[in-house]
Amino acid sequence: MLTTHQLSYQYTKGNTIAFPDLSIVEGEHFLILGQSGCGKTTLLHLLSGLLRTQKGAITIDGTNLSELSSKSLDTFRGQYIGVIFQKPHFVKSLSVEEHLLTAQYLAQKPQDRQKIKSLLAPLNLLSKKDKKISQLSEGEKQRVSVAMALVNEPKLILADEPTASLDDYHAQEVADMLEEYASKANATLIIVTHDQRLKKQFPKYLELS
């Protein structure tokens, strides 16, 4: 489903980082572990097409990312990849439901309020759908970012440090939630983190050095 081949990235400062080849099958849950500064955020940005590939190749579901134009890469990301960030960013002027409608609009998918409702209900967010993000608790924000990553039924979910700042209990909760929703959506899940606690839950991992 996702493979990388001789991927490397050169920073503007000059130092180059080379990544081991990855080969992840469809529906797999995979962990990329590494200390800060080892380039794992760079890898996540490369995999999600937020950074253009410089050297090597990334193939997702048969599509080589470096062969896409900038415009098609944006659309591809919107339609195939859901990204969850450690500290979620939202659009201050939009409500929860409007966020999800915006995600559907930007990925050029039909805007389906019914589908949004059925997504929000199990995440305990249905009653918050008309609230602005600033009115939500931290846990609710985290769940909205999960909903945002799932709304367009992506084939690939990338999560960046989803548990880093959480205590054991909440880290477990988030990990369970990610695993559950990825399985339900039949999506491939890649978690990029330095959080060694997650190794217990996700036996397949790669450690970057």
Partner 1 sequence: MNLFKLSWRNLIASPWSTTLNLILFSFGISIISLLLTVSDQIKTTLEKNQANISLVVGAKGSPLQLILSSIYHIDTPTGNIALEELQRLEKHPLISSVIPLSIGDNFEGFRIVGTDTRYPALFEATLRQGTLWKSPMEVVLGSTVAKKLHLAIGDEFQGAHGTEEDGALHEEQAFKVVGILTYSGTVVDQLILTDKASIWHLHEEEHHTHNEKHSHEENTKEVTAGLVQYKSPMAGIMLPRAINKNTNMQAASPTYETARLLELLGVGFGAIKTLAVIIIVISGLSIFISLYNSLKERKYEIAYLRVLGAKKQTLFGLILLEGIIVALIGYILGITLSHLGMYILGFYLEEAWKFNFSTFYLMKEEFILLGIALAVGIGAALLPAWQAYRIDISTTLSE
Contacts 24+ apart (CB under 8 A), 88-93: 88/141, 88/142, 88/144, 88/145, 88/148, 90/133, 90/141, 90/144, 90/145, 91/133, 92/132, 92/133, 92/134, 93/132
Q: Which stretch in 21-29, 79-87, 164-172, 178-186 sits in contact with partner 1 by CB under 8 A?
A: 79-87
**Beta carbon of residue 112, minimum distance to partner 1 (angstroms, whole number):** 12
Q: Which of residues 44-63 bind partner 1 (CB under 8 A)?
A: 45, 48, 50-51
Rule CB under 8 A: choose which of 32, 47, 148, 150 binds partner 1. Answer: 148
Judged by CB under 8 A, the stretch of 25-33, 38-46, 53-61, 194-202 that binds partner 1 is 38-46
Q: Are 10 and 16 in contact (CB under 8 A)?
A: yes
* CB 12 to partner 1: min, Å: 10
User: Does 105 sit near partner 1 (CB under 8 A)?
Assistant: yes
Residue from 108, 183, 186, 196 touching partner 1 (CB under 8 A): that is 108
Q: Which stretch binds partner 1 (CB under 8 A): 20-28, 39-47, 115-123, 183-191?
A: 39-47
Supply the Cα-derived Rg of the chain in whole angstroms.
Answer: 17
Q: SS3 of 145, please?
A: helix
CB of 81 to partner 1, least distance (A): 9
200 binds partner 1 (CB under 8 A): no
Q: Quote the CA–CA distance of 173 and 169 in Å, as a whole number.
A: 6
Q: Is 31 helix (H, G, I), strand (E, B) or coil?
A: strand
- For 188, the enclosing helix (H) or strand (E) is strand 188-193
Instruction: Enumerate binding residues for partner 1 (CB under 8 A).
Output: 41-42, 45, 48, 50-51, 70-71, 74-75, 77-79, 83, 85, 89-94, 98, 101-108, 111, 148, 152
